[in-house]
Amino acid sequence: MNPRQACLACLEREPIALLEAALWIAVEHDREVDPAACLATLRNVQGQISASLPLLPLPELAQPLLRQLSALGFQQDEFHPLRPQAALLDRVLQRRRGQPLALALITLELAGRLSIPLEGVAFPGHFLLRVPGADHLLDPCGGRRLYPNDCRELLARQFGPQVPLTAEHLRRASPVQMLQRLSRNLRQLHSSNDNPLAALIDAERVMQLGPVQVNDYLSRAALYQQLGCPQAERFDLEHALLLTDDPVQRLKLSERIGKLPAVTRSIH
Q: What is the C-alpha to C-alpha distance for residues 171 and 158, in angstroms, rounded to an integer? A: 18
Phi (first) and psi of residue 127, to 5 degrees: -60, 140
Instruction: Give, for 182, the enclosing helix (H) or strand (E).
Output: helix 175-192
Residue 266 pLDDT greater than 80, yes or no: no
Residue 237 pLDDT greater than 90, yes or no: yes
Q: What is the C-alpha to C-alpha distance for residues 10 and 6, in angstroms, rounded to an integer? A: 6
Question: Would you say residue 264 lies in a domain?
Answer: no
Give the DSSP letter of residue 123. Answer: -
158 with 184, same domain? no
Q: What is the pLDDT of residue 262?
A: 79
Query: Which CATH number goes with the domain that contains 224?
Result: 1.25.40.10
How large is the average pLDDT for residues 122-148? 96
**DSSP SS3 for 129:** strand
How large is the average pLDDT for residues 92-103? 98
Q: How confident is the model at residue 265 (pLDDT cuts 50, 70, 90)?
A: low
Q: What is the C-alpha to C-alpha distance for residues 195 and 88, in angstroms, rounded to an integer? A: 15
161 with 242, same domain? no
164 with 207, same domain? no
Structure pTM?
0.95
Domain residue limits at 203: 175-258
Residue 92 pLDDT greater than 60, yes or no: yes
Q: What is the pLDDT of residues 107-125, one digit of tens each?
A: 999 999 999 999 999 999 9
Q: How confident is the model at residue 29 (pLDDT cuts 50, 70, 90)?
A: very high
Of 139, 170, 201, which residue sits at a domain end? 170
Q: How confident is the model at residue 28 (pLDDT cuts 50, 70, 90)?
A: very high
Q: What is the pLDDT of residues 39-73, one digit of tens each?
A: 999 999 999 999 999 999 999 999 999 999 999 99
Q: How confident is the model at residue 267 (pLDDT cuts 50, 70, 90)?
A: low
154 with 32, same domain? yes
185 with 206, same domain? yes
Question: Would you say residue 267 lies in a domain?
Answer: no
For the chain, how many structural domains are there in total?
2
- Output the CA–CA distances (angstroms, integers) from residue 194 to 174, 190, 199, 233, in the order listed: 30, 6, 9, 18
Q: What is the C-alpha to C-alpha distance for residues 201 and 187, in angstroms, rounded to an integer? A: 8
How large is the average pLDDT for residues 191-210? 97
Percent of the chain with pLDDT over 70: 98
Spell 139-167 as b/e; 16+ CB within 10 A means b.
Answer: bbbbbeebeeeebbebbeeeeeeeeebee
126 with 10, same domain? yes
Question: Would you say residue 266 lies in a domain?
Answer: no
49 with 150, same domain? yes
Q: What is the pLDDT of residue 217?
A: 98
